[in-house]
Amino acid sequence: MNDAVIESGSLRLAQESDLIATLEAVEISADLPRAAADAAEIRAFAETLGRLDVAFWAEVTGLDALARTDGAPGARTRGQEILEWATEQGDARLASRCHALIAMMDLIGGHSGSGAEQATIAVTLLDGTELPRLRAKFLTRQALGLLFAGLLQHGFDVSRRALALADQLEDPELLAQIASNAFHAALDESMPDEARFWMRRLEAVMASSPDLEAELSDVLARGHLADNRPWDALDVLERAGDDDAATSQPETRATRMLLLAQAHHGVGNLPAARRALDRAEQITVRHALEEVASTVLEERAAVAASAADFRLAYELHRQFHQAARSRWIEARRSRVDHLFAEQNVTEALERAEQAEAAVAVDPLTKVRNRRWVEDTLPDVVRTWQAGGPWTASLAILDLDHFKLVNDRYGHAAGDDVLVAVAAALQTCGGVQHVARIGGEEFLLVLQQDADPEQVAERVLSAIRELRWPGIDGGLRVTVSVGFAGCAPGATTSALLQEADRRLYSAKRGGRDRSAGPWAE
């Protein structure tokens, strides 16, 4: 093969790699109109490279962005067509995006059971190579679907998982979206404790990012209306200003107009209430938002009654109840489908848990991996925080001079050493979790009441006592360990940095030893 062909092949690989990286950035963009346009360009370029899978991926990304702004007629059908192709090709990455698109279209169309199922499958098919922000986006959609479908405990659980990931990403807008979805669901289902939890999270987000108050105005306004404070609701909505921005979802815009109408009605400004209802109705008709449209009709009847136009109020109430009855009949007809969907959601959740468990395991040593650390350790640390200072610890452990083992005995022998060390660490008293976080680096999560100094001695002794007759009878393996204690207010990042600092202190001190807060 000549140099020109090699160079051409390398250039093509570079182009494809850049294209995929660009597409990954586009699918997590908050600028939806720009995302739709960029996805179209990526699709065209992918087709010139003959990468049909990437072209389809870009098409789905564009449809997803359009569905959340101006609407995308036929997007569900197209998503299903591309899903069939992805399934035939065994392309889980593309299939995941297709299921997420179909979920969005089902949720917009009011098909909550199917939407929850499709969103759950989308999360299940993620393989851990996706950007964390995309995982958070899919979890948020899954949580919304589960809450809409009435699977409340599952929905709130997934919402908390999405919340933890948004915390790690330090993304206040995503935090606000997750918390507001859960708050609305809790309020709808008359769950005051749950609603208060999510409102506290929203208040914390607004305290750190005051510019988000306008975006969260519908949540705050609904809370004020629920507390019979229409003046406060109106104040919040008027401060937020007009929200016909193309970046907002149609249902969000329609709901905000409905809330504005209810606030005006509450303070007695009936003409303003009617104008807001007119705008809400325009959005519901354009985007076929049946649920919001029904509530708009109900509010029109209430406004008419307040204006003493009882004939109109009666007629509007009659239309509202006819619409409600139609929805009830449709719901009764689809009850069996919904029950099947609920069963499928439950099964999909179980598959998702199994898939996530598999993804979070190091294939060589069979202990936890870095993915587990990123996803789960923050939850562990938050649990520790309730116990006061020095109630829990973690440690980072590194094999001493491990490169010499690989160089002298080969990588197969090095793998055997890693497997044996991981097994030994799991048997040490006081160690709750072991995770491999690098080539020869491990994270130890201690039991909450374990004495870290005692655990350190057990770990060092367990590794010193390992023997390697199958490799070399004279081989001795040692480790260096750095411990960090969890004090109130400590973050996961700070704990890991502290443990890493002490690990290198142990290495500088001569290796085969530990360093921890007990010695300071």
Is the pLDDT at 390 greater than 60? The verdict is no
Q: How far is CA 231 from the centre of its chain?
A: 35
Question: Is 157 in contact with 367 (CB distance < 8 Å)?
Answer: no
Strand 514-515, strand 479-485: pairing: parallel
- What element of type H or E holds 281? helix 270-287
Task: Give how far Cα 360 sits from Cα of 208, 382, 406, 495, Å.
Answer: 32, 20, 26, 21
426, two tokens: 């799991």
| 3 state SS of 283 | helix
CATH class of the 370-515 domain in this structure: alpha beta
Phi, psi of 515 (to 5 degrees): -135, 135
Is the pLDDT at 278 greater than 60? The verdict is yes
Tens-place pLDDT, residues 449-503:
889 999 999 999 999 999 998 889 889 999 999 999 887 777 888 888 899 999 9
Is the pLDDT at 272 greater than 50? The verdict is yes
186, two tokens: 């809790």
Tens-place pLDDT, residues 51-108:
899 999 999 999 999 988 777 788 999 999 999 998 888 788 899 999 999 999 988 8
pTM of the shown model: 0.56
What's the rounded mean pLDDT across residues 338-346? 56
Give the start-to-end residue ranges of the domains of the chain: 13-109, 370-515
Instruction: Give the confidence band of 348 by pLDDT, cuts at 50, 70, 90.
Output: low
Question: Is 509 in contact with 412 (CB distance < 8 Å)?
Answer: no
Q: What angle do CA 106, 112, 114 make, to 5 degrees?
A: 65
